[in-house]
Amino acid sequence: MSGDMDLLQTRGTAETVHVPVLFTEVMEALEPAAGKLLVDGTLGGGGHTRGLLERGAQVVGLDWDSRALVRCAPLVEEFGDRVHLVRAAYDTIAEVLAGPVLENEVSCGKRKVGELPPLVDGILLDLGFSSDQLDDPQRGLSYHFDGPLDMRLDSSVKKTAADVLNTVREEELADIFYVYGEEPKSRVLARAIVKQRKERPLETTKDLLAIVEQVYPPKLGLKRAHPAARIFQALRVAVNDEMDTLERALPDAAWCLKKGGVLAVISFQPLEERAVKAAFRRLCVDELDEIGRVKTPAKFKMGKKVMASDAELEANPRSRSAILRTLVRVG
């Protein structure tokens, strides 16, 4: 993912109600307090950032969706210079911190990953989406609403979901559904889409849902997730290059931590969870030089995964698939 890193100037007046998942667990992991500098790399609805600010921390909030920044503008009014909102993708955290965002309070210049000095006390990445993003028909992120097959989280991304569905080769479409959605009927779906687009291009979420329901006819009383959820997820991941972005972001973010700093990541999909776990494990392994000496300039320790409590599951069903993993810089 990529995005222009523009310091937010807009002041908003309306504030969207947002219920962040694993809120208590994130606060416990990052331990926000006066004098701490924290980064919320996925600002979204601003719920986690608000919690960090209310506990006294200074927060840099990133999001490549400019509409998320507008929604969170009231935080600037309320907390002043303790919050800095930046339009940027979360794989550019090191670059953002190297710039003038904090009026030169934090500046390290552009250096290679692994050579960045420790900068922040904690970083949060919440890989989910806020309800207002999912419920906006114009985004085309959900099969529940009829709207254009867009799915871009940043308008500068060239290809929409419709472009992918109408132009990508059948084999590549099948791979997208299988790899990013773990769809067992990926080839059947890809074949059905290619057949349909020869007659008429797919333009709306309703068009795609109709094809999914050709392959998976709705059954009365079926009590499991609609298969369209997997297909929409796979397309969204492909359009926004989400997995490559995540794999770039995790080591970069870890190198921006002070000793004792914490990287906290909330994932919602098995694909994301496996990627986070694998990246954290790699960071916890000492790198050796040619004669066996440890040359890794930092040491990390991975925490145990944390899931939502019964109370949160009852209050916020969206948290049922959320998993929090933490990585602490210990040396």
Q: Are residues 127 and 145 in the same domain?
A: no
Q: Where are the alpha helices (DSSP H) in the chain?
A: 23-30, 47-54, 66-71, 73-79, 93-98, 131-134, 161-167, 170-181, 186-199, 205-215, 228-240, 242-254, 270-283, 310-315
Residue ranges making up the domain that contains 171: 139-240
How many Å apart are CA 303 and CA 324, to the nearest integer? 9
Which residue in 253, 260, 280 sits closest to 329, CA to CA?
260
Q: Are residues 127 and 260 in the same domain?
A: yes
- Any idea which residue has 């298969």 for tokens? 227
Does 1 map to a domain? no
Q: Which residues contact 172 (CB under 8 A, 6 or more apart)?
A: none
Q: Are residues 221 and 252 in the same domain?
A: no
Residues pairing with 265 in the sheet: 125, 325
Q: List, for residues 215-267, the tens digit of each pLDDT value.
A: 998 775 455 678 999 999 999 999 999 999 999 999 999 999 999 999 999 99
Residue 2 has pLDDT above 90, yes or no: no
CA atoms within 13 Å, Cβ hemisphere of 330: 12
Residue at a domain's end among 240, 258, 276 = 240
The CATH number that applies at residue 304 is 3.40.50.150
Which residue in 304, 305, 298 sits closest to 260, CA to CA?
298
Q: Are residues 162 and 201 in the same domain?
A: yes
Q: Are residues 30 and 98 in the same domain?
A: yes
For residue 14, the model assigns a pLDDT of 39
Residue 189 has pLDDT above 80, yes or no: yes
For residue 157, the model assigns a pLDDT of 86
Does 234 map to a domain? yes
Residue at a domain's end among 179, 210, 240 = 240
Which residue in 52, 6, 12, 47 sits closest to 29, CA to CA?
52
Residue 99 has pLDDT above 80, yes or no: no
Residue 1 has pLDDT above 50, yes or no: no
Does 183 map to a domain? yes
Q: Are residues 171 and 281 in the same domain?
A: no
Q: List, for residues 41-54, the tens digit of each pLDDT value.
A: 999 999 999 999 99
Q: Are residues 125 and 249 in the same domain?
A: yes
- Does residue 201 contact residue 195 with C-beta atoms inside 8 Å? no
Question: Residue 292, Cβ neighbours under 10 Å: how many?
Answer: 7
Q: Are residues 259 and 169 in the same domain?
A: no
Which residue in 258, 259, 270 sits closest to 179, CA to CA?
270
For residue 64, the model assigns a pLDDT of 87
- Residue 104, judged by CB atoms within 10 A of its CB (0-12, 13-18, 19+), counts as exposed
Total domain count, the chain: 2
Residue at a domain's end among 218, 240, 262 = 240
For residue 224, the model assigns a pLDDT of 67
How many Å apart are CA 256 and CA 10, to the nearest integer? 28
Here the tokens at position 300 are 């990390």
Measure Cα distances from 226 to 144, 215, 216 in Å.
Answer: 10, 12, 9
Q: Are residues 191 and 69 in the same domain?
A: no
Q: Are residues 127 and 143 in the same domain?
A: no
Q: Which of 50-59, 107-116, 288-297 has the highest average model confidence (pLDDT)? A: 50-59
3-state secondary structure of 82: helix
pLDDT band at 317 (very low <50, low <70, confident <90, very high): confident
The CATH number that applies at residue 232 is 1.10.150.170
Does 55 map to a domain? yes
3-state secondary structure of 312: helix
Here the tokens at position 146 are 């009829």
How many Å apart are CA 205 and CA 117, to the nearest integer? 46
Q: Are residues 99 and 248 in the same domain?
A: yes
Which residue type occupies 124? L
Does 225 map to a domain? yes
Q: Are residues 96 and 14 in the same domain?
A: yes
3-state secondary structure of 91: helix
